[in-house]
A and B are shown apart, each in its own frame.
Chain A
Amino acid sequence: MEVHHTDVRILMLAWKMKAEKQGYFTLEEWRRGLKALRADTVSKLKKALPELEKEVRRPTNFLDLYSYSFRYCLTEEKQKSIDIESICQLLDLVLGSQFRAQVDYLIEYLKIQSDYKVINMDQWLGFYRFCNEISFPDFSGYDPELAWPLILDNFVEWMRAKQT
């Protein structure tokens, strides 16, 4: 199909299929997904991808994909958080095209900070909200007294210190 396995479109495909486990598609999931995409040949599948991309970009769907992508990376049972390294890759994959600058700086920060070794779902969702709602890089309207996850408070502080 000429799509690299680290391509985000694989993720989108998985989402569409509501696949449970990263790297694997059950037969059921596969069937379900292809049916949803109305593709029964490889070429049709290939053609369906751009359509899929468009579908994904719709805000409600995107949020769904975004949360899905986090759960998709949880490999162990009862695992609730993902290590920093993987989070950085995931951020790049899922948000990179839309929020290039934010993602790059966020990744830089995540790598140098030492408060958190893992990221949980709540923080993960916070990242998306942050990119969507807060203008970058002035952060006007960002208020650490509100309910933003602490890690983002620290990120903004770090950025502001760099900017002076």
Chain B
Amino acid sequence: MSAPKKKTIQIEAFRHRVVADPKYAEKTWNILEHAIHEIYNHNASGLSFEELYRNAYNMVLHKFGEKLYSGLVATMTFHLKEICSSIEAAQGGLFLEELNRKWADHNKALQMIRDILMYMDRTFIPSAHKTPVHELGLNLWRDVVIHSSKIQTRLLDTLLELIQGERSGEVINRGLMRNITKMLMDLGSSVYQDDFEKQFLESSADFYRLESQEFIESCDCGEYLKKAERRLNEEIERVSHYLDAKSEAKITNVVEKELIESHMQRLVHMENSGLVNMIVGDKYEDLGRMYSLFRRVASGLVLIRDVMTSYIRETGKQLVTDLERLKDPVDFVQRLLDIKDKYDKIIGSAFSNDKTFQNALNSSFEYFINLNSRSPEYISLFVDDKLRKGLKGVSEEDVEIILDKVMMLFRYLQEKDVFEKYYKQHLAKRLLSGKTVSDDAERSLIVKLKTECGYQFTSKLEGMFTDMKTSEDTMQGFYANVGADLGDGPTLSVQVLTTGSWPTQPINTCNLPTEILSICEKFRNYYLGTHTGRRLTWQTNMGTADLKATFGKGQKHELNVSTYQMCVLMLFNNTDRLTYREIEQAAEIPASDLKRCLQSLACVKGKNVLRKEPMSKDIADSDAFFFNDKFTSKFFKVKIGTVVAQRESEPENQETRQRVEEDRKPQIEAAIVRIMKARRVLDHNNIVTEVTKQLQSRFLPNPVVIKKRIESLIEREFLERDKGDRKLYRYLA
């Protein structure tokens, strides 16, 4: 069985009887024309939509689309001309209102007309390539009304006047403005631009140019920036309220250019209120404002950054060359930290942590810290002070914070090897005098240094700590084993230092008192008994002693003194008077050390356990010293020993410098050999670059010194010059 055939039912279109009336088109058009008139005259309510639609439809159907269309154009044009006149006639403030009202009317009319003529819109217009009704209505409005000679300029002028008025503080009808600008946009963005925006931007530029000139003459930097910011915000707000969104970028450009860019230099450098003044006064708000405004302008931030950088470098340079300040290293370093904190805060709160500013700050610090060759020493002294007493009672977190700050300064140093030298010296003194506030803090800093510089930097330092610990154990062993034999003698505490780990000290002569000698010998025997193949040397310039002394009226004190001081004082057990010569002979301590020692015992108020004749500060060979019976002190324990780390004197500093230079030579040579071994052949410039790179974590090598080392290596036949190209060096296996 096949599927039943579907029967399609055709419904024929109901055909009106074709009227062959030649006047048909004319009649129909008149009806429509009349309707359009009524619409424009606000009389649309009396019209029948259906009838009009049908008429229009018929016209198009009977091929009278052209007539309909041209009729539409003419009629609309006619009405628009009338509208034009009425708008032109409006006075003053009513002009815009009239324009707005008529525009609204026109749109409403246009809507109705289009609905009526929809069939033509859909059929005749596309095929005849005519402009659709709605668009036509807009174009006609544009051409007849907006571009009419009387209206065009007046419209623009009115709009600009109102905007200007608002800028001067007047209140304007923003809703009306919005409608008008929206109208222009509806007519096409080129209409908006050509008939309004272009001029708007130009006149705004002129306005702000003048205003900025006024401001800059009368305001200081902070005030100016406030005003500029206000104007900028105003314009942005204006756009959001009654201009097209695309105008925002353009008008802000204008403001930025006229208010900011043109006067950038002058603002930043303004005396007594410019950037430097703001920095000095920590004016975060002003600085923040400057940052956010200048950021909008090309090279605005660069300007701020450059001025800030040169100011930091200037102040830094002043600080590191200020001889008065440099007399107190701890204060000096504290000042450095304060400066860093200040700028960190500025960059954080006002410059939104801008990385380029952070970098500028870092490079400035690196620049001026290294201007003073003693910075490494001072930083070490600062650390010494903190670890000795500064960190007493400080919480663990705060300790970490301070140590991290120290590390930050350390990173800026170019001559890290110099720092290492001093740090070692100061650490040695701290450890040996037992004067460190917190072992944990010491260790924490070593760990930080190790993380920064690698194992080699800190291995010796760690060795020092190990020695201290080992010595403790050794002493326990000593007393356990030998304690019984010691009887009533002095108590001994020995630190055994491994030579390589501790700062090198010249070995001086010193005659220890007999009371001490015997126990020292006992220790030496004990130690060498348990450790073969080692050599022990007493470091008499580094030790301390506690002496119990009884003075004239029977007052007892415990004196904490250095080994040298002990030797000298013990001499007075047998006699009350000794001349310098006699002391020198008996103690055999080198002259300069001995003189310093005697000065600390006889010439310092509150610590003068000895009396000197004559009373002068200098020690002459013929001076006589007496045990000071009349010595008093409110403390039972009196500390006279001087093992505190101090800022080096000039000659000492020179010496250390020389030792550092000597130490650097083999490091440079080792680097050269390493590089040449790997590369075999290399030219001079590249060697210098590579060596500098390899050593940069320790110090910055001088190219002249590098050259000298190369020549020395050539002489010792590690390298040779290439026979052909004299710029090249060859590695000699």
Interface set of A (CB-CB < 8 Å, partner B): 80, 120, 122-123, 125, 129, 145-147, 149-150, 153
A125 CA to B684 CA, complexed, in Å: 17
Cβ A80 vs Cβ B715 within 8 A: yes
The 10 closest A-B pairs by CB, nearest first: A147-B684, A147-B727, A122-B714, A150-B707, A120-B715, A146-B684, A150-B708, A146-B727, A147-B726, A149-B711
A151 CA to B4 CA, complexed, in Å: 117
A125 CA to B715 CA, complexed, in Å: 13
A149 CA to B711 CA, complexed, in Å: 7
Question: Any chain A CB within 8 A of the CB of B703?
Answer: yes
Cβ A122 vs Cβ B727 within 8 A: no
Q: Which residues of B, 715-733, contact A by the 8 Å Cβ criterion?
A: 715, 721, 726-729
Question: Any chain A CB within 8 A of the CB of B70?
Answer: no
Q: Given the complex, which residues of B lie within 8 Å of A129, measured CB to CB?
A: 726
A150 CA to B688 CA, complexed, in Å: 14
Ordered by A's residue number, 30 sampled pairs between the chains whose C-beta atoms are within 8 Å are A80-B715, A120-B715, A122-B711, A122-B714, A122-B715, A122-B721, A123-B711, A125-B721, A129-B726, A145-B684, A145-B685, A145-B688, A145-B703, A146-B684, A146-B685, A146-B727, A147-B683, A147-B684, A147-B721, A147-B726, A147-B727, A147-B728, A147-B729, A149-B711, A150-B704, A150-B707, A150-B708, A150-B711, A153-B704, A153-B707
B715 — nearest CB in chain A belongs to which residue? Answer: A120
Q: Given the complex, which residues of A lie within 8 Å of B685, measured CB to CB?
A: 145-146
B684 — nearest CB in chain A belongs to which residue? Answer: A147
A153 CA to B727 CA, complexed, in Å: 15
A122 CA to B715 CA, complexed, in Å: 8
Q: Given the complex, which residues of B lie within 8 Å of A80, measured CB to CB?
A: 715
Chain B binding surface, main DSSP class: helix
A133 — nearest CB in chain B belongs to which residue? Answer: B726
In the complex, per-residue mask of B127-167: 1 if CB is within 8 Å of any chain A CB, else 0: 00000000000000000000000000000000000000000
In the complex, per-residue mask of B462-489: 1 if CB is within 8 Å of any chain A CB, else 0: 0000000000000000000000000000
A146 CA to B726 CA, complexed, in Å: 9
Q: Report the number of A-B residue pairs with Cβ-Cβ less than 8 Å.
A: 30
For the complex formed, measure the closest distance between the CB of B726 and the CB atoms of chain A, giving whole angstroms.
Answer: 6
A133 CA to B727 CA, complexed, in Å: 13
Q: Given the complex, which residues of B lie within 8 Å of A147, measured CB to CB?
A: 683-684, 721, 726-729
In the complex, per-residue mask of B669-697: 1 if CB is within 8 Å of any chain A CB, else 0: 00000000000000111001000000000
Q: Given the complex, which residues of B lie within 8 Å of A125, measured CB to CB?
A: 721
For the complex formed, measure the closest distance between the CB of A125 and the CB atoms of chain B, giving whole angstroms.
Answer: 8
A114 CA to B724 CA, complexed, in Å: 31
A54 CA to B726 CA, complexed, in Å: 27
A122 — nearest CB in chain B belongs to which residue? Answer: B714
For the complex formed, measure the closest distance between the CB of A19 and the CB atoms of chain B, giving whole angstroms.
Answer: 24
Q: Given the complex, which residues of A lie within 8 Å of B704, measured CB to CB?
A: 150, 153
B705 — nearest CB in chain A belongs to which residue? Answer: A150
B716 — nearest CB in chain A belongs to which residue? Answer: A80
Q: Given the complex, which residues of A lie within 8 Å of B715, measured CB to CB?
A: 80, 120, 122
Q: Which residues of B, 376-408, contact A by the 8 Å Cβ criterion?
A: none
A122 CA to B720 CA, complexed, in Å: 9
A120 CA to B703 CA, complexed, in Å: 21
For the complex formed, measure the closest distance between the CB of B259 and the CB atoms of chain A, giving whole angstroms.
Answer: 49
B687 — nearest CB in chain A belongs to which residue? Answer: A147
For the complex formed, measure the closest distance between the CB of B701 and the CB atoms of chain A, giving whole angstroms.
Answer: 14
Q: Given the complex, which residues of B lie within 8 Å of A146, measured CB to CB?
A: 684-685, 727
Q: Given the complex, which residues of B lie within 8 Å of A123, measured CB to CB?
A: 711
For the complex formed, measure the closest distance between the CB of A148 and the CB atoms of chain B, giving whole angstroms.
Answer: 8
For the complex formed, measure the closest distance between the CB of B718 and the CB atoms of chain A, giving whole angstroms.
Answer: 12
For the complex formed, measure the closest distance between the CB of B668 and the CB atoms of chain A, giving whole angstroms.
Answer: 14
Q: Given the complex, which residues of B lie within 8 Å of A153, measured CB to CB?
A: 704, 707
Q: Given the complex, which residues of A lie within 8 Å of B721, measured CB to CB?
A: 122, 125, 147
Q: Given the complex, which residues of B lie within 8 Å of A122, measured CB to CB?
A: 711, 714-715, 721
Q: Given the complex, which residues of A lie within 8 Å of B703, measured CB to CB?
A: 145
A129 CA to B722 CA, complexed, in Å: 13
For the complex formed, measure the closest distance between the CB of B7 and the CB atoms of chain A, giving whole angstroms.
Answer: 104
Q: Given the complex, which residues of A lie within 8 Å of B708, measured CB to CB?
A: 150
Q: Given the complex, which residues of A lie within 8 Å of B688, measured CB to CB?
A: 145
Q: Given the complex, which residues of A lie within 8 Å of B727, measured CB to CB?
A: 146-147
A150 CA to B704 CA, complexed, in Å: 8
Interface centre among B703, B711, B729 (most CB of A within 10 A): B711
Additional A-B contacts beyond A147-B727, A149-B711, A150-B704 (10; CB < 8 A): A80-B715, A123-B711, A129-B726, A145-B685, A147-B683, A147-B721, A147-B728, A147-B729, A153-B704, A153-B707
A154 CA to B727 CA, complexed, in Å: 18
A147 CA to B714 CA, complexed, in Å: 12
A38 CA to B98 CA, complexed, in Å: 124
A145 CA to B689 CA, complexed, in Å: 11
A80 — nearest CB in chain B belongs to which residue? Answer: B715
Q: Which residues of B, 393-426, contact A by the 8 Å Cβ criterion?
A: none
A158 CA to B707 CA, complexed, in Å: 18
A153 CA to B715 CA, complexed, in Å: 18
A104 CA to B373 CA, complexed, in Å: 40
Interface centre among B703, B707, B714 (most CB of A within 10 A): B707
Q: Given the complex, which residues of B lie within 8 Å of A145, measured CB to CB?
A: 684-685, 688, 703
A153 CA to B707 CA, complexed, in Å: 10
A146 CA to B172 CA, complexed, in Å: 75
A129 — nearest CB in chain B belongs to which residue? Answer: B726
For the complex formed, measure the closest distance between the CB of B484 and the CB atoms of chain A, giving whole angstroms.
Answer: 63
